[in-house]
């Protein structure tokens, strides 16, 4: 069974954390993954860097730019993803990259290294393990087309906004998730703008299966000591699993 399907069967509510592959550097990246795993993370979403991550806010975009500047290439991508899978063979891993990254790093040919593939600017067809992203501005035809292609879980944006763009999550996800509930049995996770345990608890009081945290985690990585970062991760995981 796919690791994503398995984790959603095992747990009523899940928490996913986003990290850019190789950020802030390779050693610190693996230290972060270890910290996340040891403190309650259910699913890891890995961003593969591209030059113009236009759906992402400045915080995530800066991580892409920094990793690319460090010399990120196909060999680096393959090596880091391979090491990640070897270290954590049971960890559900979602790869997120834009269409340019999917093509440049031949991600559709690396499915043995991940459990789901998310491409926010293009629906990928003809392969397994595709995860689609949704928001409240999409027409019903688009939603239906995405659902036909979607496996493992549906990624619903809290609203049609860039990542990390607000102190409070948008609420468009309520409309989107209500529609999806009527048309699919896929688990639903909410991302974009989720930054606190209070946000997690508020969102998961609805008929939803998980939350995704990214930008605020990166801000913490960049600005706070290890002890505070650990406490933050623990608090989010506790809110998700209560």
List pLDDT tens digits, range 79-116: 999 999 999 999 999 999 999 999 999 999 999 999 99
- For residue 21, name the pLDDT band (cuts at 50, 70, 90): very high
Reported as a single tens digit per residue, the pLDDT across 206-222 is 999 999 999 999 999 99
Q: How far apart are CA 38 and CA 104, in angstroms?
A: 32
Per-residue model confidence (pLDDT) at position 167: 62
- pLDDT band of residue 161 (cuts 50, 70, 90) is low
Q: What is the pTM of this model?
A: 0.95
What domains appear along the chain, each with residue ranges and CATH number? Answer: 3-237 (3.20.20.70)
Peptide bond into 136 cis (omega under 30): no
Taking the C-alpha atoms of residue 98 and residue 64, their distance in angstroms, rounded to an integer, is 12
Q: For residue 163, is pLDDT > 80?
A: no
Structure confidence at residue 114 (pLDDT): 98
d(CA 163, CA 56): 5
Instruction: Please report the pLDDT score of residue 188 as a whole number.
Output: 98
The candidate with the shortest Cα–Cα distance to 233, out of 223, 220, 222, is 220
């Amino acid at each position: 069974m796919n690791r994503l399907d398995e984790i959603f069967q095992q747990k009523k509510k899940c928490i996913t954390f986003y990290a850019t592959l190789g950020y802030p550097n390779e050693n610190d990246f693996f230290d972060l993954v270890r910290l996340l795993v040891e403190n309650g993370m259910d699913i890891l979403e890995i961003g593969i860097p591209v030059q113009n991550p236009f759906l992402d806010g400045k915080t995530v975009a800066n991580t892409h730019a920094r990793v690319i500047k460090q010399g990120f290439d196909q060999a680096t991508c393959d090596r880091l993803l391979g090491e990640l899978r070897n270290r954590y063979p049971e960890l559900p891993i979602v790869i997120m990259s834009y269409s340019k990254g999917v093509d440049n790093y031949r991600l559709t040919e690396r499915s043995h290294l991940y459990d789901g593939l998310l491409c926010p600017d293009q629906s990928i067809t003809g392969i397994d393990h595709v995860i689609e992203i949704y928001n409240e501005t999409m027409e019903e035809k688009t939603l239906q087309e995405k659902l036909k292609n979607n496996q493992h879980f549906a990624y619903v944006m809290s609203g049609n906004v860039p990542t990390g763009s607000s102190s409070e999550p948008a609420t468009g996800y309520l409309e989107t998730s209500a529609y999806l509930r009527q048309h699919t049995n896929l688990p639903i996770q909410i991302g974009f703008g989720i930054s606190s345990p209070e946000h997690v608890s508020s969102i998961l009081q609805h008929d939803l299966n998980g939350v995704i945290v990214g930008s605020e985690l990166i801000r913490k990585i960049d600005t706070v000591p290890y002890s505070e970062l650990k406490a933050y991760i623990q608090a989010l995981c506790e809110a998700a699993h209560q």
